[in-house]
Amino acid sequence: MLPQEEALNVLVEFLHVHGYTKVKGIPLETIRLLASIVLKENVFVYGKKIYQQVLGGAMGSSFTLTLANIFMWKWQKELVRRQDMTCEYYGRYIDDVFMTWNKSENALKQILENANTWHPNIKLEYKIGKSLPFLDVLLSNINGTLSTSVYHKPAAEPYVVPFISDHPRHVFENIVQTSLRRAIKYSSTFQLFNDERRYIKSTFLYNGYPSSFIDKTFRKFFSDYISSRSILPFLDNEAQFIRMRIALSGQPSRQQSQVEMRIATLTTDIEHLIEESDKTQECTIRENKKPNESQNKLIIHYTHEKRFNTRKRDLHCTFQETFENTPIIETKLIIGNRNRINTMKELIRKRPRQAMLKNKDET
């Protein structure tokens, strides 16, 4: 759990380090105050008592996740510096860390144990080995070469959306193609990809997908990268696999595209604010306001029946008598009116003929 005040200080430090004095025109002190409200004003009821959260932030809050990432940015500085000095790799996704090491295992354990003393609220649980999972990727050190493949948890069941479920056909195709796309991106060799491809087909067969449908979807997916004349639902050689992997690796995921769009939007806003600030320093911009046509005018609009057609004149007379010899008399009174539909016409949708409304003498 994050100490709230310390996390807010790290947030301001993070913005300062990255050159921000304002974010979208909002000063950093205001941002800190707003962040404090989001972080501290969290209460819940338990056992007929009201409790306020004094450590960490609300679970599920997008701001809490962002703040946790910024807090880890501060914590990991020393670890990143040491990895850079030895030309080793360091990567982190939220609270999962992956790093390489080419010295003794005892030296690595000493560094990690030392990192556990940097902050009382952050403790590392680590695994050291030549083959380790990181998120959904299995990374292996094979004679000094880093190999990657798709990682499946031992307890994971081979279930996907069943083919008999009530979904549009394109949903099933997208599920198959997404599995293939992940296999190509994560598999570092052609052999590892083929192993994963066979696993994918077995999984979909287990969930009731027809073999013909799976093969057709495979061919459709590969057709953009291999010859359309091929009737095989798989890649023929490693050259085709490498070509596909390079092409797909250059395509950002949906989440990456959203992050890049947010960064681009924020950068554009900052540049726009800087340009406006420069223009303000060079010259003073004055806006020529248009005269208000309704100034010094009192406009009254009402609806009345035809029998009140003298109301407009009466209002003018009342205005003159009431505000005579006062500054208000300089205000021009404008009265607009519209006759209301006759009450009888409102109550009777279809009027009968006049002949039917006349009283007739009995004959």
pLDDT digits 0-9 by tens, 62-90: 888 899 999 999 999 988 998 898 888 89
57 against 162, higher pLDDT: 162
> How much is the average pLDDT of 190-203?
92
pLDDT at 308: 66
DSSP string, 315-350: HHHHHHHHHTTSGGGGSEEEEEEEEPPPHHHHH-SS
Residues 6+ apart with CB under 8 A from 349: none
Residue 360 has pLDDT above 60, yes or no: no
Residues 6+ apart with CB under 8 A from 147: 139, 140, 141, 188, 189, 192
Residue 251 DSSP class:
S
Q: How confident is the model at residue 186 (pLDDT cuts 50, 70, 90)?
A: very high
Q: Could you read off the pLDDT of 4-55 as tens digits, one per residue? A: 899 999 999 999 999 988 888 889 999 999 999 988 888 888 988 999 888 8
Q: Where are the alpha helices (DSSP H) in the chain?
A: 4-17, 28-40, 62-75, 77-85, 105-115, 169-186, 190-206, 211-222, 238-249, 254-282, 311-323, 343-347, 354-357
Residue 338's closest CA among 300, 313, 301?
301
* C-alpha–C-alpha distance, residues 274 and 112, integer Å: 43
pLDDT at 183: 92
> How much is the average pLDDT of 157-186?
91
Q: How confident is the model at residue 95 (pLDDT cuts 50, 70, 90)?
A: confident
What value does the mean pLDDT of the chain take? 80
Facing residues of 125 across strands?
none
pLDDT at 13: 93
Residue 143 has pLDDT above 90, yes or no: no
pLDDT at 279: 53
pLDDT at 69: 92
262 against 108, higher pLDDT: 108
Return the sign of the alpha-carbon dihedral for residues 153, 157, 158, 160: negative
pLDDT at 283: 47
For the chain, the distance separating the N- and C-terminal CA atoms, rounded to the nearest angstrom, is 101
Packing angle between helix 190-206 and helix 211-222, nearest 10 degrees?
Answer: 140
pLDDT at 32: 92
Q: Could you read off the pLDDT of 287-325 as tens digits, one per residue? A: 445 555 556 666 666 666 666 667 777 777 887 877 777
Q: How confident is the model at residue 363 (pLDDT cuts 50, 70, 90)?
A: very low
Least confident of 15-19, 57-61, 166-170, 232-236: 232-236
pTM beyond 0.85: no
* C-alpha–C-alpha distance, residues 50 and 42, integer Å: 10
Q: Burial code of 329-349, b = ≥16 C-beta within 10 A, e = fewer? A: eeeebebeeeeeeeeeeeeee
pLDDT at 285: 41
Tell me the backbone φ, ψ of residue 106, rounded to 5 degrees.
-65, -40
Cβ-based neighbour number of residue 180 at 10 Å:
21
pLDDT at 356: 55
